[in-house]
Chains A and B, each alone.
Chain A
Amino acid sequence: MSERLRRLADVLVGYSGRVQPGDLTVIQGTMNVEPLLEELYGAVLRAGGHPAMRCAPEVEALLLDEGSDQQIEWLNPAELEDIEQADVWIVVDAPANTKALTSVDPERQGRVQRARRGWRERYLERALAGELRWVLTGYPTNGAAQDAEMSLAEYEDFIFGAALLDDGDPVARWRAFADELHRVVEFLGSKEELRFVAERTDLTFAVGGDRRWIAADGHENFPDGEVFTAPLDESAEGEITFTFPAVFSGRQVDDVHLRFHQGEVVEATASSGEDFLREMVALDEGARRVGELAFGLNEAVRVFTRNILFDEKIGGTMHLALGSAYSECGGTNRSALHWDMICDLRSGGEVYADGELVYRDGRFLL
């Protein structure tokens, strides 16, 4: 494992974050990912950067449980310093218990999301301006393995496989994969309308105009492998059923079915967690609209593991996110929410671009 961790750290620092000498590099994670944080620290030093370690215990449930409204809305000025001054930001997201927040009042979670909105936007603004390079990655923990219904050893193989790290030269593999993704982006970039058809799903989006497709090729997420855009705000029309559970902020909602009219959710149902779903959709004006539309294209990610970082990249799936759009796609929707939900298209799913069948059973017909 330690050899793989070192390789993961080297790819994150050298390929994803492109740490240069003198770069102030924030490394953020929880204490259960300490071995990877240490490897990252060493890799940043070897690249000539200045590592700033931000390691914290998992106190979010405690804060939400025992903190006052004022305390849960408090924003740490130290974090704003990081947001304003970091050149590179590497986040390792791997909670010890992925369901620790299940019983928290959704209204309180909404309050936290709203309070953090300004800083989240500032972070993305600096990223968009090219002043900050960020990358989000995972780490094999028992909690994550449990969600994936795997042993820890199986889950390690899954993660390092998805990250293409078992290859002799992982950076070369990622460059080749990036080329593939860019070809898909070029193809989709010429289309005006996409229609997704699957079981209890027939949903149309407009994706033309000033909207751009972006290849997610291992720079902001790692592992990676998707292409995404922001559909026109008022264009979503029809219904969609998400085959995989939708997980947000530690809460799981099953069998989400959404109906859209003129870009807005007009009906939201679920077999479990429907209250939470409704609370989030009503969070603010933008939470009703689709901020992101994407194809998962990493063929090394085959199975659902209840971790959005991996699930949204499953080769043969599509996902949309309710809430904020990425402005680098030309998206304009603003919201404190960004909730990715995934639909498996591998058995019988079809996608039509400007009326022409371009994708079937999880693969582009290019």
Chain B
Amino acid sequence: MGKIQLKGVRKAFGDVIIIPSIDLEIGDGEFVVFVGPSGCGKSTLLRLIAGLEDVTSGRIDIDSVDMTSVPPAKRGLSMVFQSYALYPHMSVRNNIAFGLKMAGESPEAIKQKVEKAAATLNLSSYLDRKPRQLSGGQRQRVAIGRAIVREPKAFLFDEPLSNLDAALRVQMRLEITQLHQALKTTMIYVTHDQVEAMTMADKIVVLNAGNIEQVGAPLELYNNPANLFVAGFIGSPKMNLLQGDVAKKHNAGTIGIRPEHIATARDRGEWQGVVRVAEHLGSDTFLHIDAEAIGRVTARAAGELALTAGDKVGLTPRPDRIHRFDSDGRVLRA
């Protein structure tokens, strides 16, 4: 079991309020991603759940038991840190076994569990090495191994892939997703990378300045952002946010249109513009276009497009894909 509820959780360091008040419910077995720009309080929120920081006020329940003032060791949670935080003086085997030793398990049980976890994570041949003899990806696996042997109620990941190179990040992302499918344990994952959030999460929690902007499934956030912040944060390249006359035409303060929802044609279109930069990725083409009337716009076309900088282009947004926001940035539903 691993149901986690936050009720009115507040965190302040002296006069600085990091998290004003958060209510959140995380269901058993869910993969929840906290995402937001740096300094938005997502890591602090994770550390509050872990018990590594004390809440200023509010309550944290794990499986309906009040854990607000229970020390981290007794909350039954495991954490994977950005820096891996392996014990440098211990072998991989002892790193993984440490939690079990602290729990006072028998040597046979420890041996068995460590070897099972190592097999799951392809670490069996590295058990007697020290962390410094491992690569970044292997170290991260050891950190995950250390988390899974304890069979926690929930896993907490604090930007675990940030220190890895791009290729390894994609691979580890898959491994963590598969691990979640196999274990079906609650996972809370903090990242500033919205791609990680979109690809891994059952449920994304978008945080900004210590407040929850929106909670929902990845595609729900993508298709129905509740406000300008979420609209601009989720999706890459970013949603085009347009103000002025073009927004007024739709009775809105701001309208948003995703790059892939703008059709491009050489001669005709609702808006006219000039290509400033064309990024050819093979599978996609990103066009950064100066459209006089509305400003700089990004458009995305599938496949290869024979357009280069300086070409004139016509743009047409898909009317059913235009998001409208009021002057406070809240979404306007039709």
Are A and B subunits of one complex? no
A-binding residues in B (CB < 8 A): none
B-binding residues in A (CB < 8 A): none
